[in-house]
Amino acid sequence: MRHILDIAKRSEQSYKPLYSAFLDERQLEMCRSALISECFGDFCAFGGYPDAERQVLAFGDPDLCEAQLPFKAVVFNCPENSGLNHRDFLGGLMSLGIKREMLGDILVGSRRTVVFVMDTALPLVRGIDKIGRCGVRVTEDFTEADIPVQEYDEIRSTVASLRLDAVLATALRFSREKTADLIKSKGVLLNRVMTFSPAEKISQGDRFSVRGFGKFELYEVGGQSKKDRVFITIRKFR
């Protein structure tokens, strides 16, 4: 966070757009909180596509920042049904000495896998011709069609209230007591904001996740049962 605050100060002093490396959702929220507390409001985040999990923080004029983003989308063209997965691509890239913060989201497809890469790491990535034992061809022709459709499983149930611990307990199939302890110890990322409060109220459309347990959305809130419990539908993303 000290590093991010330093970037913000340098951008403010130089009137030039400056950027962080890629940050995950928890890091983004921590940095946003620190920036707001230090009265730095002129910043935004970019990940290469809507709903990107890993993003860079940009400081300066938003339009100028977006026009000069310090990363590009690299496409790995693979044989169909190659069996390559997220771990294969991440491992192959990091084996070249590329640090995780130089890489954004990795969108794995059946024939085309997209990786968002900081410009400083592009020369290494452009030279890759194999991931694992599979030959690949690197291009930079990313389109919206390369963004995979998010798959999910639906969980339908009832809860006593729309408190975070009640809804998360249903999503994880844990007891309320165990879920409350989990929230207090690990925290829950609720709409990109970290909370440690089991009593936090959530609403239809809210997204929440716990590291190591998955990501969810309170997709639908229905009426009440005869016992005054609330009907809900939760989506658990795969």
Tokens of 110: 């059946």
| Phi, psi angle pair for 215, to nearest 5° | -125, 145
Looking up residue 49, the CATH number of its domain turns out to be 3.30.1370.160
pLDDT of residue 41: 74
Domain boundary among 49, 67, 85: 67
For 211-215, which contacts have Cβ atoms below 8 Å and span 24 or more sequence positions?
Answer: 211/26, 211/186, 212/186, 213/172, 213/182, 214/171
CB 189 within 8 A of CB 209: yes
Crossing angle, helix 176-186 and helix 164-172, to 10 degrees?
A: 110
CATH number at residue 90: 3.30.70.330
Which CATH number do you get for residue 194? Answer: 3.10.290.10
Burial class of residue 53, CB neighbours in 10 A (0-12, 13-18, 19+): middle
Q: Are residues 142 and 156 in the same domain?
A: no
Residues 209 and 197 in one domain: yes
Contact 56, 18 (CB under 8 A): no
Q: Closest Cα to residue 219, out of 150, 141, 129, 138? A: 150
Measured from the Cβ of residue 50, the count of other Cβ atoms closer than 10 Å reads 7
Q: Report d(CA 187, CA 203) in Å as an integer.
A: 18
Residues 176 and 193 in one domain: yes
Identify the three-state secondary structure at position 61: coil
pTM for the structure as a whole: 0.77
> Do you know the residue count of the chain?
238
Pair 157, 169 in one domain: yes
If asked whether residues 140 and 159 sit together in one domain, one would say no
The answer to whether 172 touches 186, Cβ cutoff 8 Å, is no
Give the end of a domain, one of 97, 130, 146.
146
Does residue 84 sit in the same domain as residue 59?
no
User: Which of these three, 146, 176, 204, is where a domain ends?
Assistant: 146
Closest CA to 104 of 23, 32, 170, 25: 23
Number of domains in the chain: 3
pLDDT along the chain (238 residues), means of 10: 93 93 91 88 91 94 94 96 93 96 95 97 96 95 92 95 97 96 95 91 95 94 94 95
pLDDT of residue 21: 97
Q: Give the pairing type, strands 188-190 and 137-139.
A: unpaired
Q: Does residue 115 contact residue 54 with C-beta atoms inside 8 Å?
A: no
Q: Is residue 161 domain-shared with residue 208, that is, in the same domain?
A: yes
Same domain as 212, residue 168: yes
| pLDDT given for residue 32 in this prediction | 87
115 and 129 within one domain:
yes
- Domain residues for 211? 152-237
